[in-house]
Amino acid sequence: MQFLEQAPRFFFFTGKGGVGKTSLACAAAIRLADEGKRVLLVSTDPASNVGQVFGVTIGNHITEISDVPRLSAMEIDPQAAAQAYRDRLVEPVRGVLPDDAVKTIEESLSGACTTEIAAFDEFTALLTDDSLTADFDHVLFDTAPTGHTIRLLQLPGAWSGFLEAGKGDASCLGPLAGLEKQRNQYKDAVNALADPTRTRLVLVARPQLSTLREVARTQEEFASLGLSQQYLVINGVLPAIEAQQDPLALAIHERENAALAAMPGVLDALPCDRLPLKPFNLIGLDALRQMLSDEPARDPEANDSREALPEVAQATLAHLVDEIAVDGHGLVMLMGKGGVGKTTIAAAIAVELAQRGLPVHLTTSDPAAHLTETLDGAMPNLSVGRIDPQVETERYRQRVLATKGDSLDAEGRALLEEDLRSPCTEEIAVFQAFSRTIREANKKFVVMDTAPTGHTLLLLDATGAYHREIARQMGDTGMNFSTPMMKLQDPKQTKVLVVTLAETTPVLEALNLQNDLRRADIEPWAWVVNNSVAASQPRSPLLLQRARHEVSQIEQIAKHHASRYALVPMLEEEPVGPERLMALASRKTASSSQGTQIDPEQAATKKNAAGSTGSLASS
Q: Which residues are catalytic?
A: 18, 20-23, 45, 505
Cα→Cα distances 408→75, 171, 398, 401, Å: 46, 19, 15, 9
- How far is it, in rounded angstroms, from Cα 11 to Cα 230? 10
- How far is it, in rounded angstroms, from Cα 393 to Cα 259? 35
- How far is it, in rounded angstroms, from Cα 492 to Cα 466? 21
Per DSSP, which regions of 509-596 are E strands?
Answer: 526-532, 565-569
- How far is it, in rounded angstroms, from Cα 491 to Cα 331? 9
Whether the CB-CB separation of 367 and 217 falls below 8 Å is answered with no
Residue 407: partners with Cβ closer than 8 Å, 6 or more residues away: none
- How far is it, in rounded angstroms, from Cα 565 to Cα 314? 9
Burial of 227 (0-12, 13-18, 19+ CB in 10 A): buried
Helix (H) or strand (E) holding 552: helix 541-556
Q: Which residues are paired to 171 by β-bridges?
A: 174
Burial of 601 (0-12, 13-18, 19+ CB in 10 A): exposed
Neighbours of 59 (CB within 10 A): 15
Rg for the chain, CA atoms, rounded: 24
- How far is it, in rounded angstroms, from Cα 385 to Cα 598? 38
- How far is it, in rounded angstroms, from Cα 25 to Cα 458? 25
Whether the CB-CB separation of 147 and 457 falls below 8 Å is answered with no
- How far is it, in rounded angstroms, from Cα 407 to Cα 402? 9
Cα→Cα distances 583→320, 345, 470, 562, Å: 14, 11, 44, 24
